[in-house]
Amino acid sequence: MEEEVLGSIFALSGSLKLGVQRKSSKWTLYEQVAIAAMDCQCLDVAKDCIKVLQKKFPEGKRVGRLNGMLLEAKGLWAEAEKASSSLLEDNPLDQVIHKRRIAMAKAQGNISEAIELLNKYLEIFMADHEAWRELAEIYVSLQMYKQAAFCYEELILSQPTVPLYHLAYADVLYTLGGLENLQTAKKYYASTIDLTGGKNTRALFGICLCTSAIAQASKGRNKEDKESPELQSLAVTALEKDYKQRAADKLGLLVH
Amino acid sequence: MVAELKYEISQNAYIKLVLHALKHKTTAVNGVLLGRVNPQNESVVEIIDSAPLFHSNLALLPPLEIALIMIEEHYGSKGLGIVGYFHANERFDDAELGIVAKNIGDHICRYFPQAAVFLLDNKKLAALPKGKDQSPVLQLYIRDASKNWKLAGPDGGSQLVIKEPAANVVLSDYISSEKWQDVVDFDDHLDDIKMDWLNPELFK
């Protein structure tokens, strides 16, 4: 991965030297190369690009952001935080700067601060789906599954046809456990299969796991609540077919 | 377990896990270790192979349950079981054994009480190309009598050795040739079942 990025950096910086003619894209290129260079810890390349941009846009907010990122890349957290705070004073609604502060908290291991900042950010920018996902993943890593579920609920409400959110929600519900959650999880694995034309391996497995877990959880309960077994057998058939076609050596491992 | 246990890990099992961690530098990764108690020596746990698991959402149950079922089914027929758990933290300077690792470790202990948890030692890994250290770039954790996970220190009873002494040399070689790109984990398999989590061609 790193090689590709490095290759792109040098290709991009090459085209910069050749004097790309179109006005706006030249400066955007410098910005992109700077960020890519920081990603690979080529801080000298980044510094050079930022210097060029600084000359052209001495009061620029975007240059200010890049300088902040450079401080982050160097691990100079106190300075980076100061830089982003002052940038925020002038630009209180700049999403990128807000997100850099969250990234900094995360990078330093202040997960609770990252969560707090991210929640505050989402109060303002509640349509930022990536931010909701980020928050959900942080909650999952801390085993705060209820909170993660809430994030996915928001995502499903705003984008009901994105299968990724249905799948993630189902995974979280299954992890939470309990008969009701398992039954809901099964529904969302089913909707994932629906939205992906039956091709999502994780959702197919999810149906199988739910069926077992629900059977376990409802032992001794009213037999009238028994679920119809069709969904389970459909899922199993689909999985077996797929494995037979594409991963036949693993077919025997499908113990369910 | 009070007995002084020794964990002996095979070169391939060791390298596979480290390469997996290197492939996904910006996230936490985990894996399981396969092996058995040495039939000639009860105080030695032989780790013969490893299976890289995930590089995202490590704390979700469904993918983990599926992976463990398939892994146990495959290795069970070879007389091997899950004897340990490997974890690499997301951040370079995070050397703590987190709750997810402890929980999965506890789960494995229910089936294999002498199971150990291995945490990637990022600092040791970074220092690898420079030194001649033959010891693994892993920290060994075992459960004490009160079922708490404790770091096994050099003065402690348990220890971890790599079976092949030149493993770190081989590992450094693989790192320079970016071999990590070839490692397939369970996440990859669940995204595309053609990807083989057994990594049969990795060391050929």
> Which of 3.30.300.30, 3.90.1170.50, 3.40.640.10, 3.40.140.10 would CATH assign to domain B6-191?
3.40.140.10
Report the C-alpha gap between A97 and A87 in whole angstroms: 7
- In chain B, which ranges are continuous DSSP H helix? 11-23, 61-76, 99-111, 122-126, 167-176, 186-191
Q: What is the ipTM of this complex?
A: 0.93
The answer to whether A137 faces chain B, any CB pair under 8 Å, is: yes
Average pLDDT over residues A97-121: 94
Tokens of A17: 């030297």
Question: Residue A13's pLDDT is what?
Answer: 65
Domain range summary for chain A, segments of one domain joined by +? 1-9+26-115, 126-218+228-246
Rg (alpha carbons) of chain A, rounded to whole number:
24
Region B94-111: mean pLDDT is: 95
| Average confidence score pLDDT of chain B | 93
* pLDDT for A21 beyond 60: no
Mutate one of B61, B68, B90 to test the A interface: name it (highest A CB count within 10 A).
B61
Residue with tokens 């491992």: A253
Q: How far is CA A111 from CA A141, A174, B73, B89, B142, in A?
A: 10, 25, 37, 14, 27
Record: fold of A1-9+26-115: 1.25.40
Q: Residue B30, Cβ neighbours under 10 Å: how many?
A: 27
- Nearest-Cα distance to chain A for B3, in Å, is 33
Residue A24 has pLDDT above 90, yes or no: no
Phi, psi of B174 (to 5 degrees): -65, -35
| B95 CB within 8 Å of a chain A CB | no
Give yes or no for residue A19 having a pLDDT over 60: no
Q: Are B30 and B2 in contact (CB under 8 A)?
A: no
pLDDT for the residue numbered A219: 81
The answer to whether the A1-9+26-115 and A126-218+228-246 domains have the same CATH topology is yes
Distances, alpha carbon A25 to alpha carbons A20, A113, B80, in Å: 8, 36, 58
Least confident of A38-47, A218-227, B2-11: A218-227
Q: Give B69 to chain A, closest Cα distance, Å.
A: 8
The predicted pLDDT at position A3 comes to: 59
Lowest mean pLDDT among A55-64, A85-94, A187-196, A214-223: A214-223
pLDDT value, residue B130: 78
Nearest to B32 by CA among B77, B66, B3, B5: B66
Q: Do B57 and A137 touch (CB under 8 A)?
A: yes
Task: Just give the CATH number of A126-218+228-246.
Answer: 1.25.40.10
Residue B156 phi/psi, 5° resolution? -70, 175
pLDDT at A252 over 90: no
Q: Which of A37-51, A105-119, A125-139, B13-27 has the lowest mean pLDDT?
A: A37-51
